[in-house]
Amino acid sequence: MDLHLKDKNIVITGAAGAIGRELAQRLLDEGANLVLHELDESSLESIAAEAQATGRTVLTVGGDVRLPETQRAIAAAGAQLGGVNGFAPAAGIYVAHPFAEMTTEQWRTTISINLDAVATLTSTLLPHIRDNASLVYFASIAGERGSRNHAHYAATKGAIVSFMRTIAIELGGRGIRANAVAPGIIESPMTNDLVAASDGELERATPLGRLGRPGEVADAVTYLLSQRSSFISGAQIDVNGGLYMAG
């Protein structure tokens, strides 16, 4: 299926993470040009090297995504490509802290990375976002159901959906679409400790009986970035094997 992503310019943050890396590869396979961000820019070297063989343009940006100078560098890279057709802010953290023991600093760190940086980077990119672009945000099953020991994370993911829907309303007149994917428990370094502690409970609670794979989330994001989803906006797509239904 042609997803009509050839020569489209897509910005991905957290691009060296499990989902971000899979997403970058899929978009390269579809012929897109990329701006890839990661805290440690050197972690993007292998992706950039692979892209050179495809003839696609890949620009990389390193730095703390919360910082204005990092956000300006990401926006400048998007402008260098000629404007932004798609945006997928995958950068985020998932750290366990029981709420009764959570410090103000722990709360603010998660909020600043998972929510504040997403909003401010969207604003910084906005002058370079083309009409009919697609913005795909990362929600979570935690934003729907809550998550033990992750009150800060769950709060950011619930807020991301409200933010995304407001953006969809405000920018829809330009043909810009905004949607979100809500992963469940995905096999990745971010969830290793959680999965180990659950002793199989998470798999048993999931109707499909297994954990998700990063590529399955990347597939959903790629679809939402593409023109194949041209009349979908303000939607949250659950990519969690039915876990959101589990009691």
Question: What pLDDT is stored for residue 187 in this prediction?
Answer: 83
Specify the range with the lowest mean pLDDT, choosing from 16-30, 42-56, 217-231. Answer: 42-56
- Domain coverage including residue 217: 9-237
Number of domains in the chain: 1
Per DSSP bridges, beta strands 9-13 and 84-89 are parallel
Specify the range with the lowest mean pLDDT, choosing from 36-45, 58-67, 141-150, 222-231. Answer: 141-150
Known catalytic residue at 153: yes
Bridge partners of residue 65, in order along the sequence? none
In a domain, 177, yes or no: yes
In a domain, 2, yes or no: no
Q: Please identify which of the residues 94, 137, 153, 223 carries the catalytic annotation.
A: 153
In a domain, 3, yes or no: no
Q: What is the mean pLDDT of the chain?
A: 93
Residue 242 binned pLDDT confidence (cut-offs 50, 70, 90): confident
What distances in angstroms separate CA 28 from CA 8, 32, 77, 174, 219, one per listed residue? 10, 5, 17, 26, 13
Over pLDDT 90: what percentage of the chain?
77
pLDDT tens digits, 79-125: 999 999 999 999 999 999 999 999 999 999 999 999 999 999 999 99
In a domain, 225, yes or no: yes
In a domain, 223, yes or no: yes
Say yes or no to pLDDT of 247 above 80.
Answer: no
In a domain, 43, yes or no: yes
